[in-house]
Amino acid sequence: MSIETEALLQEAKESIEAAQNYRSELQQRLHGLSQARKQVRGSSSQTREALRRHFQELQAMLTRLLADRLSALLQEVDDIEQDSVRPLDDCQKLIEQGVSTADELLREGEAAIRCGIGEKEDKLGSFTKKALQIQLDSLPEVPVLVDVPCLSAQLDDSLLQAVRDRIGRHGSVASHPPVQIEELVERPGSVLVRWCKVDDDFTVQDYRLQFRRSPSSQYEDAYIGKDTEFLVLHLDPHTDHLFRVCARGEGRTEWSPWSIPQMGYTTLAPHEWCPGSDGYILSSRRNIAMRSDSTPARAGVLYSNSATYFCGQTLTFKITAAGQVDRRDSVGVCVECQSRAESLQRDKAVCVSTNGAVFVNGKEMTNQLPAISTGSTVTFDMEVVNLFPVSNSISDGGNFKLRVTIGSGSREVVFDWLLDQGVDCLFFGCSFAHPGWKVLVF
């Protein structure tokens, strides 16, 4: 085969490979378009159903409220009518009785006048006496019309306009939610969720984060507040979870539409304290340790169950309860567990004391952090700086360098930690001389 033929063959192979890659890219884009169309169609159907259901419920509620109000007003008319007509009926009976008596008296008077002369005197005397007894000058009082109720319906025409205006502004259709999930970062036994506002015209008062453990379960509230990130704890490793976020506008009570759900998971086992350590009581998930008073003497260091802290992660200690401070107290990380150690203020460890002092390989640094108390949060961040020897002798300082950042409150301490050997992962630990201390690790 000639060189020209080989070149053409090679060019043909490259063109075929490029065409395959091009086709694969186009197929992926077709799949993306299919997903986008599915999202538009699906969300449109869900929105239509939500609108119909809401307005049907609203219509039924308004109809019921209007019917109840009409019934109450009609009952009020009936009550006023009955109370007003009753005395009029009594007055009418009294007048009709008087008319009947007057008719009878008239008949007797006319009969007395027409009677004969012999009995006229007796008849007229009896008639006159009876007329005096009836008191023909006494008439019942009839109320004037201004004193009688004249019912009317007082209807505020502005209500209809107000309802029309309110209904005209009720509800809206949003093509995009005002907030979206920006990033999902796996952490040991947890996922750090970050979100951002994508609608510049939307003024946020609070955010609301929810997650769902499985497709068959319901969403659970994880966070409500003003922050734009939150660490969702107590998640099972290698299990997909769905996350979504929404926001509440300033001065509003209703929540915005949810963001597009994002799937996230963690492959990292959760941080746990080692069970069975004297002087410490652990929570059911072993992520909270409390220094008990069962051993008044020093209980030593409580270590992690295994070396689960890796460089590039953030290790957080949150103090949920505080006891008496001791200069040997410590929270931090170490290369190995030393069962007889009383504190992490030793070789191959970095830690912070409850008074804020920072120790590296047992030596106190000049820089100091705020004292630790209830509510304090201490974070450790590490990254590998050098994997190769930095000196000709181990005694000169070691041949493995980690850049350590320890934060507490609003302050940070940054330094290089030199070790005599490389490490892939580290243990964490704590030590408290007195009972009452309670620390959560994540």
* Distance, CA of 71 to CA of 76 (rounded, Å): 9
Measured from the Cβ of residue 42, the count of other Cβ atoms closer than 10 Å reads: 10
**pLDDT in single tens digits along all 442 residues of the chain:** 678 888 888 888 899 999 999 999 999 999 999 999 998 999 899 899 999 999 999 999 999 999 999 999 999 999 999 999 998 888 888 888 888 888 887 887 777 787 776 676 777 778 777 777 777 667 778 888 888 889 999 888 888 899 999 899 888 888 889 999 999 999 889 999 999 999 888 899 999 999 998 777 899 999 999 999 999 988 989 999 999 999 999 888 889 999 999 999 999 889 999 998 888 999 998 999 999 886 656 678 999 999 999 988 899 999 999 999 999 999 999 999 988 888 999 999 999 999 999 999 999 999 999 999 999 999 999 999 875 544 443 344 457 889 999 999 889 999 999 988 888 899 999 999 999 999 999 9
Residue 298 sits at φ, ψ, to 5 deg, of -60, 135
SS3 content of the chain, % helix, strand, coil (to 5): 35, 30, 35
* Distance, CA of 273 to CA of 268 (rounded, Å): 15
* Distance, CA of 84 to CA of 196 (rounded, Å): 68
pTM for this entry: 0.63
In the block, tokens 């008496």 appear at: 324
Measured from the Cβ of residue 22, the count of other Cβ atoms closer than 10 Å reads: 10
Q: How many CA atoms lie within 13 A of 189 on its CB side?
A: 15
Assign residue 171 a region (left: φ > 0; alpha: ψ between -120 and 50; beta: otherwise). Answer: left
The candidate with the shortest Cα–Cα distance to 233, out of 1, 67, 34, 441, is 441
Both structure tokens of 159? 């209500």
Both structure tokens of 126? 């009896």
